[in-house]
Amino acid sequence: MKLQTDMAKYRTLSRREFMKLSAAAAAGITVLPGFAYEANRFPEPMKRRFGRTNFDVTTLGLGGQSSIQWTPDDVNPVNIILKAFDLKVNYYDTSNVYGPSQENFGKAFQKLNLIPGTRNYHESLRSSIFLTTKSMIRWAKGGYPELENVRNSTNGDHAGGAVADLKRSLSQMFGDGKGYYPEGAYVDMMMIHNLTAFEEIDVVYNGLEGSFDPNGNFGALIALRDFRDGTNITGMNPKHEKLIRHLGFSGHLSAPAMIEMIQRDRYELLDGMLVAINVNDRRYLNMQYNVFPVAEAKDIGIVGMKVFADGTMYGKHAGWSNRPEHVIRDVGTRELPSKPLVEYALTTKGMDTLIIGIGHIDENPLKCQLIQNYYAAQIEEGTLTEHERRDLEKLGLRAREGDTNYF
């Protein structure tokens, strides 16, 4: 079978290949501030234009879940983030619903001197990365009415609305974690997270469409726009702060809802989209031929997620992870290597970067998920032919007969 004969090229990176690629970068070691260990210097990562943001993102981005959220006892999540910086990964993703994830980023940022206003603030390093956080609250402020099919979820103060989530993100990543954040702190993008229903989109656009009542409640987008532009149209930004560079949204399963979100954006507020994509995509809801072209037509940057189906490709139950034992810590399997799964997602037309959660890093590059995913991500968009992509979709059948995309 041709698929079997071609599988050799998809194995994990061999020790000889790793040493050859590393030597091509430079000899010696590199140590970043606060690093607890040394690492080989790596080749410069590939980058792609991230939509209309005027920023080039690395093809591999670091996701804020896996061991950064559900941390096993023997894992230091801060070291995962620091190692990603060592690899020069420049796209980082977290969320207000990811438990301690933002706090772990905050600890790493302290070690890397990324806290504005501090004596050794590394402003050029901060400007070299693209930091995204997300909120699952659809209303701008507290006291939102409970509506059917409209979720409002956060690990913080539900009464505070999406604006409170924004400030909570800044406090946890750059401040004291209790509400304070320093002047000059910002996130590069704030996403409305995990949209699935049209009713949620109605709420998010409330105030941008139809009448606007500053004394009532309104959707998250119009308020977050104030914090992007430094305006105070909603009355929620009296200090005229600029805390966001870009706005975006994410979705796991409903291409129709995501398309609706894009098409209703008359003000071109949405610069980025996070969407689930993997080798079994065409077997379930088919994002790549539905929402991808719509986002690409409006020059919205596209970020992929769930390349390993939240670990379901490698034996985890088909359900949402919520504890450390759900974290996958191996680098693929002989039956289903990780490399082709990464390559499939990154050769999907329109894809800019792919966020992957890391369960385990290791001094041995053959056992280090971050290093293996880094090398797998060094691929140009059009590298694989459609025939090769169809072969990889057959490979995806090896995981639960292709029934992996429960999300």
Q: Are strands 29-30 and 39-40 parallel, antiparallel or unpaired?
A: antiparallel
For residue 115, give its domain range.
2-402
Q: Is residue 52 part of a domain?
A: yes
As for how many domains the chain has, the answer is 1
- Sign of the torsion formed by the C-alpha atoms of 241, 246, 251 and 256: positive
Q: Which pLDDT does position 277 carry in this prediction?
A: 97
Q: Is residue 353 part of a domain?
A: yes
- Sign of the torsion formed by the C-alpha atoms of 361, 364, 370 and 372: negative
Q: How many CB atoms lie within 10 A of CB 212?
A: 14
Contact of 133 with 190, CB cutoff 8 Å: yes
Contact of 68 with 40, CB cutoff 8 Å: no
Q: Is residue 407 part of a domain?
A: no
Contact of 114 with 125, CB cutoff 8 Å: yes
Contact of 349 with 290, CB cutoff 8 Å: no
Q: What string of pLDDT tens digits covers the 407 residues of the chain? A: 455 445 556 555 555 555 555 443 333 333 333 333 334 567 899 999 999 999 999 999 999 999 999 999 999 999 999 999 999 999 999 999 999 999 999 999 999 999 999 999 999 999 999 999 999 999 999 777 778 888 888 887 666 799 999 999 999 999 999 999 999 999 999 999 999 999 999 999 999 998 899 998 899 999 999 999 999 999 999 999 999 999 999 999 999 999 999 999 999 999 999 999 999 999 988 999 999 999 999 999 999 999 999 999 998 999 889 899 999 999 999 999 999 999 999 999 999 999 999 999 999 999 999 999 999 999 999 899 999 999 999 999 999 999 999 88
Q: Is residue 388 part of a domain?
A: yes
Query: Rounded distance, CA 391 to CA 6, Å?
Result: 10
Q: Which pLDDT does position 160 carry in this prediction?
A: 78
Residues belonging to the chain:
407
Residues 6+ apart with CB under 8 A from 247: 189, 190, 191, 192, 221, 224, 225, 228, 269, 270, 271, 272
Q: Which pLDDT does position 32 carry in this prediction?
A: 32
Q: Which pLDDT does position 153 carry in this prediction?
A: 81
Q: Is residue 20 part of a domain?
A: yes
CATH number of the domain bearing residue 25: 3.20.20.100
Q: Is residue 183 part of a domain?
A: yes
Q: Hunting for tokens 């490979």 — which residue is that?
A: 395
